[in-house]
């Protein structure tokens, strides 16, 4: 190096997008919340500043963790904001999880505060009985047994003391495809440009109205909490995806943008209220490839669908099926085929690769299958307290997704197979190994394998193949109920098939044979 | 801090957007260059890799500087690319400058290579006679006396060795409002998100076709070289803004995006070829507020105009007049008034401020005037080799723009007065002090002041007020010719008025009085 930069106090890594709206025009509408009404940008900022005060008073320091079990709504946005400002990690927990699952994450991330909502009071109370965090750190919106009123946190003085934001970012837990969920450590250098990439790819602007069909707890809402705010658009919150409410809000609020898994598209597209929209709505979908039928239906209704792909470890949508103008003249079927591909790295990703076992690129011939490998600022910092898993996930700096795919000659990647253990049901990931462990815990069970069965409604559902101990007895209903006491209801198998399991000569269960049997309609 | 992140090899700061296009689809059209034909993404990358090889062979190392005097075209893009990959600073020099001005910048930035084009052969040869850089480091596209053939750099083997890109970024020279131009040191942490902000605010996408009406040497083309590539759009190069050629390319190439100063808008809007476009063209304008008349004209032709504001020190467009949907129902005159405001910080800027002499915000009442102050990743690292100026420019971390403005109650900033010394002529900044020094160098001149006069064609033109030494003689033509031998032609005064200069009691020239006289039609 021949020279040193002569830099003065360098500008801070600018905030993730919250201040922009509030600083410019405090009176502008920022959030529409069915529970909290209309909230201006200035009010959103003030509410966040009050939370900073309340949580600092509780003892939270830079780098500490804040966990939430909240529906989509203004409080969740305000907590994202407060954590970003104060330099805390925030762990938004899936509110479909059962008490013990919530407790595991709260303890594992070493949360100094847990903020819940009375809608999930039952599981929150169960969780509270197990966690190390005492009642002084638990707060609830509405009444939850063993939790303090949220107002104690949110009704104080605003604290506007800035933080340098060099630490503190979301810490999102995976669905635990290889057992227990892992804490995925995010970082500002990922979230900040990723939020801008989301704006760039979706066309958010101050004229945009964004409907929160996507859960905010899902990979931090794919970074849309920051993207919508950075663009100066309006958040419309939806605590629960209900097609009637979605259609009411699309019309009443003039919604221009929303996201969801293909199952959410089906719910919207085939709702009784469905009718063509007046101005086009931009819809991003991910979690599974959209089918030609649903793409056709959404196009008829005036929705412009973009297919995205991502993982918890990649701040959500790390790849995009970027539409190319030369495809406009193709037939509908061909267009649907192209649109269902996972595509290419987004504008802040390195080129997405598909690699063989030795880490070499497979040929871009649309045939050779390899593992999708990703790199860029939008890859996590690592797994929390698990350096071994962190290193294993990226042996050469390229993060291995566990998903198998091909590269087409035009450079677009298409998934051929999800990593075998994952079942994607209603957009939620279910780790088959986790369900297997719950079933194996039943006294009558000798061995078990759980695989995905296709479902019109949910995309996939888990099906259990079970061998009982000799002379032992258990019914299908007993097994399912057994799982429900341990895991979220959606993870319980939809049916249970009893009998011997197919195995390799070395004794490994041949899941692919079970999948074949499932597809043949056995379950 | 309660925890340390358990990070493995962190992902590198991803490239500024060049690799994405090439990595995905090497056959895709990336550049249309009237001189070089159609260039695919793969060819663009390969050409850049050959330049990396050629320049490394010349001895350029990480952190070294590369200067260019080039028209808009593929070679300029390829050099941006090569410098980004190899970690060199690149100093694109305004090709309207005169030989001695070019020489000053080449020497000041300590360039290890200078790459020019035969179109500017005269001034390049003059510069070559003065600079320290020997003939071994000078290359030209076409023939320039004292320069080696560009092919020696560009026809070798490709070098694909990656660089970590922790150093190396453009170094852009200001137009020198307070005397000599200063080297503005850019950094990747600014250019990288700024390019994404440009995508987000302009709606660039793989379907976009971007026409290069803006010079690439101007603040690195406002970061559009990276933004267009990151979005996967196509560059259409225009070596010289000619309205006939602009209209031909808009139609032949299906242009969707372009930029330019309001004078460029007038040139396009009032060209004989002007006629409504079939699909809307998104046009970003800056350098001066667009007039209601030109906004009306461009709207008639199907151009959607967005007003941006920025400086060399801010990677170009740091503020944007973000259009608000509630303004759609206002009358045309009111809309034009709103659109001519400089607006708000872009999506990676901190909230733009207007401050008084003590650094306090002026009231947002649309009346109180202060200096525009900016902060964010898109503010320079500092002035090259000038720590004093660097510190002075941002006494409290907020960069003082030298431009005076007001904040309206809706948070939008509007310029009231350019910093008094700058004359903006055809989108080019002219420092009055620089012209004054050139005139003062004439033997007959006692004292001089240069101010802006309004010009229908150029926006502003420089007018000189000159007092001659007692008994000395000089004509208007002589003074103008004298300046032309020292500075670029566009900087020479359009007229010269002889006489005594108005002064304060302390002897400072009262330029505002000269401006009044100019506006009254004296010159």
Please indicate whether, in this complex, the C-beta atoms of B1 and A207 are within 8 angstroms of each other.
Answer: no
Cα gap A73→A329, rounded to integer Å: 41
Provide the pairing of β-strand B171-173 with B183-185.
antiparallel
Q: Please, where are the H alpha helices in A348-413?
A: 387-393
| Contact between chains at A196 and B2 (C-beta distance less than 8 A) | no
Question: What's the start-to-end Cα distance of chain A, in Å?
Answer: 66
Least Cα separation, residue A425 to chain B (angstroms): 31
- What's the burial of A129, exposed, middle or buried (CB within 10 Å: 0-12/13-18/19+)? exposed
Distance CA B142, CA B150 (A): 8
Cβ contact B199–A347 (<8 Å): yes
**Using a CB-CB distance cutoff of 8 angstroms, which residues of chain B are in contact with residue A410?**
24-25, 27-28
pLDDT in tens, A55-86: 999 999 888 999 999 999 999 999 988 888 78
Mean pLDDT over the full length of chain B: 87
Separation of alpha carbons B496 and B486, rounded Å: 17
A11 neighbourhood in chain B, CB within 8 Å = 350, 375-377, 379, 397
pLDDT in tens, B29-84: 999 998 889 999 889 989 999 999 999 999 998 889 999 999 999 999 999 888 88
Beta strands A316-320 and A148-149 are unpaired
Nearest to A8 among B1, B325, B391 (CB): B391
Q: Best residue in B21, B88, B200, B226 to probe A by mutation, most A CBs within 10 Å?
A: B200
Q: To the nearest whole angstrom, how far is the Cα of B186 from the nearest Cα of chain A? A: 10
| Distance separating alpha carbons of residues B177 and B401, to the nearest angstrom | 11
CB contact under 8 A, A6 and B384: yes
| Confidence bin at B17 (pLDDT 50/70/90) | low
As a whole number, mean pLDDT of residues A277-298 equals 88
pLDDT of residue B331: 92
Residues of B in contact with A324 (CB under 8 A): 28, 206-207
Q: What residues of A are in contact with residue B349 (Cβ under 8 Å)?
A: 14, 20
Q: What is the SS3 assignment for B250?
A: helix
Asked if B196 and A347 come within 8 Å (Cβ–Cβ), the reply is yes
DSSP symbol at A37: E
Output the six-digit token pair for B110.
């300590």
Residues B193, B314: Cα–Cα separation, whole Å: 12
Strands B183-185 and A422-425: unpaired
When CB atoms are compared, the residue of A11, A185, A382 closest to B376 is A11
CB A372 within 8 A of CB A401: yes
Stretch (H or E) spanning B75: helix B74-86
Q: CA A110 to CA A122: how far, in whole Å?
A: 22
Of B24, B382, B383, the CB nearest to A344: B24
Report d(CA A227, CA A221) in Å as an integer. 10
Residue in B259, B196, B256 with CA at minimum distance from that of residue B226: B196
Which of A171-185, A217-231, A469-483, B496-510 shows the lowest mean pLDDT across its residues? A171-185
Collect contacts of A363-368 with beta carbons under 8 A, ≥24 apart. Answer: A363/A407, A364/A407, A364/A408, A364/A409, A364/A411, A365/A406, A365/A407, A365/A409, A366/A406, A366/A407, A366/A408, A366/A409, A366/A414, A367/A406, A368/A406, A368/A407
Q: What is the mean pLDDT of residues A361-386?
A: 89
DSSP-H helix ranges across A218-282: 219-222, 224-231, 243-253, 262-269
Q: Which residue of A has its CA nearest to B208?
A: A325
Taking an 8 Å cut-off on Cβ atoms, the answer to whether B197 and A196 are in contact is: yes
How many angstroms separate the Cα of A400 from the Cα of each of A142, A396, A418? 42, 10, 13
pLDDT band at A162 (very low <50, low <70, confident <90, very high): low
Of A110, A187, A376, the CB nearest to B14: A376
Of A14, A110, A204, the CB nearest to B376: A14
Separation between Cα atoms, residue A386 and residue A375, nearest integer Å: 20
Residues B479/B439, Cβ–Cβ less than 8 Å: yes
Across the A/B interface, how many CB contacts are shorter than 8 Å? Answer: 213
CA within 13 Å, CB half, B141: 18
Chain A residues closer than 8 Å to B28 by CB: 324, 410
- Of the candidates B228, B223, B171, the one whose C-alpha atom is nearest the C-alpha of residue B193 is B223
Question: So what's the ipTM on this one?
Answer: 0.79
Task: Compute the C-alpha angle A201/A204/A207, nearest 5°.
Answer: 155
Neighbours of B342 (CB within 10 A): 22
Among B3, B29, B385, most A C-beta atoms within 10 A, so best to mutate, is B3
- pLDDT at position A238, please? 94
Confidence label for B11 from pLDDT (cuts 50, 70 and 90) = very low
Q: What is the dihedral of CA A88, A92, A97, A98, to 10 degrees?
A: 30
Least confident range from B212-221, B243-252, B454-463, B501-510: namely B501-510
* Chain A residue whose CA is closest to B169: A5
CB contact under 8 A, B207 and A348: no
Test A206 with B1 for CB contact under 8 angstroms: no
- Residue A53 C-alpha, separation from nearest chain B C-alpha, in angstroms: 18
CB–CB contact A167 B196 (8 Å): no
| Cβ-Cβ contacts under 8 Å for A189 (sequence gap 6 or more) | A13, A377, B13
Q: Do A24 and B344 touch (CB under 8 A)?
A: yes
Q: List CB contacts (< 8 A) between A189 and chain B.
A: 13
Contact A206 B397 (CB under 8 A): no
- Measure in Å the smallest separation between the Cα of A303 and chain B Cα atoms: 18
Min distance B125 CA to chain A CA atoms (Å):
27
The Cα B234–Cα B252 span in angstroms is 13
Residue B192: its chain A contacts at CB < 8 A? 193
Evaluate if residue A3 carries a pLDDT over 50.
Answer: no
pLDDT grade for A268, boundaries at 50, 70 and 90: very high
User: Which residues of chain A are within 8 Å of residue B410 when distances are taken between CB atoms?
Assistant: 24-25, 27
Answer yes or no: do B207 and A397 touch at CB < 8 A: no
Instruction: Residue B162: name the closest of B12, B30, B26 by CA.
Output: B12
- Is 50 exceeded by the pLDDT of residue B9? no
Between B509 and B478, residue with greater pLDDT: B478
Q: What digits encode the pLDDT tens for the residues B444-464?
A: 988 888 999 988 888 899 999
Token pair of B47 as six digits: 């050409």
Whether the per-residue pLDDT at A54 is higher than 70: the answer is yes
Query: What share of chain A in percent tops pLDDT 70?
Result: 91
Query: Coil, strand, or helix at residue B139?
Result: strand
* CA atoms in the 13 A half-sphere facing the CB of B117: 17
Strand B234-236 vs strand B209-211: parallel, antiparallel, or unpaired? Answer: parallel
Query: Is pLDDT above 80 for A19?
Result: no
Nearest to A20 among B61, B192, B345 (CB): B345
Which pLDDT band holds residue A148 (cuts at 50, 70, 90)?
A: very high
For residue A376, give the nearest of B11, B382, B393 by CB distance. B11
Distances (CA, A) of A279 to A294, B329, B510: 19, 17, 56
Task: Name which of B20, B522, B475, B34 is nearest B244 in CA terms.
Answer: B34
CA separation, residue B131 to residues A3, B109, B126, B153 (Å): 20, 11, 9, 20
Partner-chain contact A6 B200, CB within 8 Å: no
Q: Which residue has the tokens 């802006």?
A: B452
- 8 A C-beta contact, residue A269 and residue A285: no
- Count other Cβ atoms within 10 Å, centred on residue A47: 22
Cβ count near A4 (within 10 Å)? 8
What are A207's two structure tokens?
A: 């004229």
Structural domains in chain B plus CATH codes? 18-198 (3.40.50.980), 422-519 (3.30.300.30)
Residue of A224, A175, A180, A179 whose CA lies nearest to A425:
A175
In this model, does residue A349 exceed pLDDT 80? yes
Cβ contact (<8 Å) for B347 and A231? Answer: yes
The sign of the dihedral angle between the CA atoms of A26, A30, A32, A36 is: negative
Is the Cβ pair A387, B6 closer than 8 Å?
Answer: yes
Q: Specify the pLDDT at position B384.
A: 87
User: Does residue A324 sit in helix, strand or coil?
Assistant: coil
Single out the residue of A491, A497, A487 nearest to residue A522, CA to CA: A497
Q: What confidence tens digit (pLDDT) does each residue in A390-423 have?
A: 888 888 888 999 888 899 999 999 987 666 667 8
Which residues of chain B make contact with A42, given a CB cutoff of 8 A? none
In the predicted model, is pLDDT for residue B252 greater than 90? Answer: yes
How remote is the C-alpha of B275 from its chain's centroid? 29
Which tens digit of pLDDT belongs to each residue from B297-307?
999 999 999 99
> With an 8 Å Cβ cutoff, are B397 and A11 in contact?
yes
Q: What is the DSSP string of B76-112?
A: HHHHHHHHHHHT-EEEEPPTTS-HHHHHHHHHHTT-S
Among A186-200, B40-54, B128-142, B175-189, which is the least confidently predicted range?
A: B175-189
Nearest CA in chain A to B391: A8
Q: pTM of this prediction?
A: 0.82
A412 contacts B24? CB cut-off 8 A: yes
Contacts of A7 in chain B (CB under 8 A): 185, 381-382, 390
The pLDDT-based confidence of B421 (bands split at 50, 70, 90) is low
Tell me the nearest-neighbour CA distance from B2 into chain A, angstroms: 6
Task: Tell me the average pLDDT across B409-425.
Answer: 80
Three-state SS letters, A434-484: HHHHHHHCCCCEEEEEEEEEEECCCEEEEEEEEEECCCCCCCHHHHHHHHH
State chain A's maximal CA–CA distance in angstroms: 80
Beta-carbon contacts of B328 under 8 Å, excluding residues fewer than 6 positions away, are: none
């Amino acid at each position: 190096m021949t020279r040193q930069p002569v830099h003065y106090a360098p500008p801070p890594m600018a905030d993730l997008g919250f201040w922009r709206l509030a600083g410019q025009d405090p009176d502008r509408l920022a959030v529409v919340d069915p529970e909290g009404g209309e909230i201006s940008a200035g009010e959103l900022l003030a509410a966040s500043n009050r939370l900073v005060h309340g949580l600092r008073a509780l003892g939270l320091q830079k780098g500490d963790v804040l966990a939430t079990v909240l529906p989509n709504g203004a409080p969740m946005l305000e907590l994202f904001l407060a954590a970003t400002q104060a330099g805390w990690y925030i762990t938004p927990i899936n509110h479909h999880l059962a008490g013990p699952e919530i407790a595991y994450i709260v303890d594992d991330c070493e949360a100094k505060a847990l903020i819940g909502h009375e809608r999930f009071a039952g599981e929150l109370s169960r969780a509270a009985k197990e966690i190390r965090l005492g009642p002084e750190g638990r707060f609830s919106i509405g009444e939850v047994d063993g939790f303090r009123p949220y107002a104690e946190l949110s009704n104080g003085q605003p604290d506007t003391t800035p933080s340098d934001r060099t630490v503190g970012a979301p810490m999102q837990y995976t669905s635990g495809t290889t057992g227990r969920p892992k804490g995925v450590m995010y970082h500002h250098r990922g979230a900040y440009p990723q939020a801008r990439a989301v704006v760039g790819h979706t066309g958010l602007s101050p004229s945009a109205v964004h409907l929160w069909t996507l859960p905010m707890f899902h990979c931090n809402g794919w970074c849309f909490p920051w993207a919508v705010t950075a663009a100066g658009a309006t958040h419309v919150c939806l605590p629960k995806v209900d097609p009637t409410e979605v259609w009411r809000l699309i019309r009443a609020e003039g919604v221009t943008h929303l996201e969801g898994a293909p199952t959410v598209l089906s719910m919207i597209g085939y709702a009784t209220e469905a009718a063509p929209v007046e101005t086009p709505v931009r819809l991003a979908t991910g979690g599974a490839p959209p089918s030609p039928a649903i793409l056709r239906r959404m196009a008829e209704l005036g929705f412009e669908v973009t297919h995205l792909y991502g993982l918890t470890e990649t701040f959500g949508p790390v790849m995009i099926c970027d539409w190319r103008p030369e495809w406009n003249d193709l037939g509908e079927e061909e267009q649907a085929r192209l649109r269902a591909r996972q595509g290419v790295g987004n504008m802040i990703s390195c080129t997405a690769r598909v690699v063989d076992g030795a880490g070499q690129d497979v040929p871009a011939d649309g045939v050779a299958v390899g593992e999708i490998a990703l790199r860029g600022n939008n890859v996590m910092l690592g797994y929390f307290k698990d350096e071994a898993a962190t290193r294993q996930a990226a042996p050469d700096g390229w993060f291995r997704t566990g998903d198998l795919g091909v590269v087409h000659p035009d450079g677009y990647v298409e998934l051929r197979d999800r990593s075998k253990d994952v079942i994607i049901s209603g957009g939620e990931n279910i780790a088959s190994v986790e369900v297997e462990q719950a079933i194996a815990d039943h006294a009558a069970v000798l061995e078990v394998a759980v695989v995905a069965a296709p479902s019109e409604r949910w995309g996939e559902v888990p099906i259990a193949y079970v061998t009982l101990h000799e002379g032992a007895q258990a019914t299908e209903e007993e097994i399912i109920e057994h799982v429900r006491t341990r895991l979220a209801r959606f993870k319980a198998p939809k049916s249970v098939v009893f009998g011997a399991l197919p195995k390799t000569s070395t004794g490994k269960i041949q899941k692919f044979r079970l999948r074949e049997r499932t597809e043949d309609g056995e379950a």
